[in-house]
Amino acid sequence: MLQVTDLHVTVEDKEILKGLTLTINAGEVHAIMGPNGAGKSTLSAVIAGKDGYEVTQGSITFEGKDVLEMEIEERAQAGLLLGFQYPVEIPGVKNIYLLKSALNAQRKARGLEDMPAPEFMKLVKEKLGFMKMDASFLQRAVNEGFSGGEKKRNEILQMLVLQPKLAMLDEIDSGLDIDAMKVVADGVNSLRAEERAILLVTHYQRLLDYIVPDKVHVLVDGRIVKTGDAELAKQLEANGYEGIEESAA
Amino acid sequence: MSDTQTFLDTLKTRSQQRGAEPTWIAARRQAGAARFEALGFPTRRDEEWKYTDVRAIAQGNFALADDANFSPAQAATVTLPIVGYRLTFVDGVFAPALSDLDALPQSVHVLPLSKALSENHEAVGGPLGRLTGVDFSSFAALNTAFMEEGAVVRIAPGTVVDKPIVLQFLSKASSTPVMSHPRILVEAGARSEATLIEHYCGDQDAANFTNVVGEFMLDRGAIFNHYKLQEAPLNDMHIASMHVEQSRDSRYTSYNLNLGGALVRNDLISDLNGEGAETHFYGLFFGQGRQHVDNHTKVNHNAPLTFSNENYKGILDDRAHGVFNGKVYVKRDSQKIEGFQSNQNLLLSDRAQIDAKPELEIYADDVKCSHGTTTGQLDEEAIYALRTRGIDEATARGLLTLAFAGEVLDKVALDEIAERVELAVAGKLPERFNLAGLVETAVALND
């Protein structure tokens, strides 16, 4: 599904990713872990198309298509969705409007008609319930005045409505208390499906107790230095990244 | 020949063509001409005109239109889809064929000024010119000298007018630019309720000059909603001097929506003369290309316990230039008044410009007043966030621009008007008008 090959990325002339290679197949849940500054967030930002990141070498393909040639919105329409570590507040734009516009943009790109209003509301209502969110969220401006936990839940709500093929979640657990994390984890787990892949980017192992990954990659200094299964995350928790860095060196 | 003289010559020719008039009208006309001659056109040395250059008007040579030929098919493309009592003017000339006063209640007078003047109608004799006064501005004086046409509205006490009164001003493209000096005179009786819409529109490539004066007198407890939607032609020049006088417990609301015109200047003044009077000014101006849009507003709290609230938003693209000058004046010992004013501007291009000047002048010590102005740009982070959800960039920008305008547009009770403005400022966005229903559905489903 997603193929990242020998990716080199610089930010303000500083090389952050230094030859990263990663393959994610449909049905898999991957976790990328690593110390601060290793380039975890850079990877998801480049895949989503954020400005300010220069790809100097390598490639990213999604279902065979060159992601780096796609507009930001085309990536999302194709099913590549990023959940932000710090969701942006969008004053004046109601959540319901964002959800409807985004869903219909995706449907349009796939040659489908707009979803009829009753069907759309039924879908949104179901997902809201799942995320333990009140209907009043829909009328509020996107993330405006939301608490940290509300913002993260709102990111997952968008995922549940938009049903991406690849959901990338950047530090989705940061700032969450245990109850909020369970709700978020339940939301993410409900996305697990044969035709879908999930990429978790996280600093801490804690999240992976709730969302058990199929593969864990350790990202250090711009490269994946080790790949394993969920056990690897537990080892990292116990021993830290230092041992890995040494063995990679 | 001076700029002023060109206009005075046109006036003289017109007077000769017109023939005899009742003395009181002739006297007002003369006073207007004398005042205009003495003042001349304002220049940027005048504080009130510091940011607006009217030489394009002063140095123009505008004829006066004589007929109201405008193809009904063409008119239909610009007319607001609102059912109302409608008077249409083409380049200032009344167009009966495009007007409709069917079923107008007897307690409401709506008639063209020409008819009111020729009949010496009681609705004009006293009030016409009362608010524009003797010390009126240069453009109001010019209007008074030329006034021939416009609308006279008189609402009997206690009358609730069932449909909006629509005044449609069409500007027609022609090889010779024309000028018109429409006059709007409204007397809203005690406890009456009405909505009036001024709608300026016309041929896309017209380049005419409109110089409108409005006088609005609200008697005790009257409620009056005043919409002004000013659309293309983008090359028209438009000067408006609006004066509102409010008695005790009256409520005036202005929705001033400026989309068109190469050179636009609005002066809106509300005199709160009786306790309990309240006034609301909502404004949205959108400039593109090299449009120049200037809004000057003034609220005079002349009595205690009066209330004013003003919210003006400006959106400027390309090399457009906007001006906002809002003044709240509290007369000596007008205690316990509340006056709020806010102006926010959004610049969509590096070359767009805004001059914003909020002013407070207070001569009472027990008042609650605030004012403020901000200017900014679209949030690029927010645009990116929307795009990562699959929303294309143009829609994302439109959505955010509309969100900015939202505070004002949400107040616009007439959807037909809100929709027109939305389309102009944000482009075609999906489903905005179905959202309220959607949210209700969601709430109902959640119960």
Q: How far is A229 from chain B (nearest CA, A)?
A: 30
**What is the 8-class DSSP label of residue A138?**
G
Q: Confidence band (pLDDT; 50, 70, 90) for B436?
A: very low
Of A75, A90, A138, the CB nearest to B439: A138
The pLDDT value recorded for residue A246 is 54
Tokens 């944000």, located at residue: B426
Domain that holds residue A33: 2-248
ipTM of the predicted structure?
0.94
Q: Confidence band (pLDDT; 50, 70, 90) for B325?
A: very high
Q: What percent of chain B is modeled with pLDDT above 70? A: 94
Question: CATH number for the domain including A221?
Answer: 3.40.50.300
Q: Which residue has the higher pLDDT, B18 or B193?
A: B193
Nearest residue of chain B to residue A141 (CA atoms): B403
CB contacts of A138 in chain B (<8 Å) are 438-439, 442
Scan residues 178-237 of A and list those with Cβ closer than 8 Å to B.
none
Nearest residue of chain A to residue B384 (CA atoms): A50
Tokens at residue A155, please? 């990111």
Nearest residue of chain A to residue B437 (CA atoms): A117
- Give, in degrees to the nearest 5, the angle at Cα B366 between B360 and B372: 30
**Cα B157 to Cα B305: distance, rounded to the nearest angstrom:** 23
Instruction: Work out the average pLDDT over B135-140.
Output: 87
From residue B339, alpha-carbon distances to B199, B272, B300, B310, B370 in Å are 28, 11, 10, 8, 7
Cβ contact (<8 Å) for A135 and B438? no
Checking if the pLDDT of B447 tops 60, the result is: no
Q: Confidence band (pLDDT; 50, 70, 90) for B20?
A: confident
Checking if the pLDDT of B168 tops 60, the result is: yes
Q: Which of A62, A96, A97, A163 to mutate to test the interface with B (most CBs of B within 10 A)?
A: A97
Mean pLDDT of chain B: 92
Q: Confidence band (pLDDT; 50, 70, 90) for B419?
A: confident
The pLDDT value recorded for residue B433 is 44
Nearest residue of chain A to residue B385 (CA atoms): A88
From residue B355, alpha-carbon distances to B51, B96, B238, B239, B323 in Å are 7, 41, 19, 18, 5
Q: Which of A74, A81, A90 to mutate to test the interface with B (most CBs of B within 10 A)?
A: A90
The pLDDT value recorded for residue A249 is 45
The pLDDT value recorded for residue B444 is 54
CB A8 within 8 A of CB A15: yes
Q: How far is B379 from chain A (nearest CA, A)?
A: 9
Question: pLDDT digits over A168-199, tens only?
Answer: 999 998 888 888 899 999 999 999 999 999 99
Question: pLDDT digits over A99-136, tens only?
Answer: 998 999 999 999 999 898 889 989 999 999 999 998 88
Question: pLDDT digits over B357-416, tens only?
Answer: 999 999 999 999 999 999 999 999 999 999 999 999 988 888 899 889 988 988 999 988
Q: Confidence band (pLDDT; 50, 70, 90) for B435?
A: very low
The pLDDT value recorded for residue B295 is 98
Checking if the pLDDT of B442 tops 70, the result is: no
Domain count, chain A: 1
Scan residues 25-54 of A and list those with Cβ closer than 8 Å to B.
48-51
Helix H or strand E segment including A105 = helix A95-109
CB contacts of A139 in chain B (<8 Å) are 439
Blockwise average pLDDT, block size 10, chain A, 249 residues? 96 94 96 90 92 95 96 96 92 89 92 90 92 89 91 95 96 88 94 95 88 94 92 85 62
Among the listed residues A163, A177, A226, the one whose alpha carbon sits nearest the alpha carbon of residue A206: A177
Cβ contact (<8 Å) for B388 and A82? yes
**Cα B220 to Cα B190: distance, rounded to the nearest angstrom:** 5
Q: Confidence band (pLDDT; 50, 70, 90) for B441?
A: low
Half-sphere exposure of B68 (CA within 13 A, CB side): 19
Of A101, A114, A121, the CB nearest to B391: A101
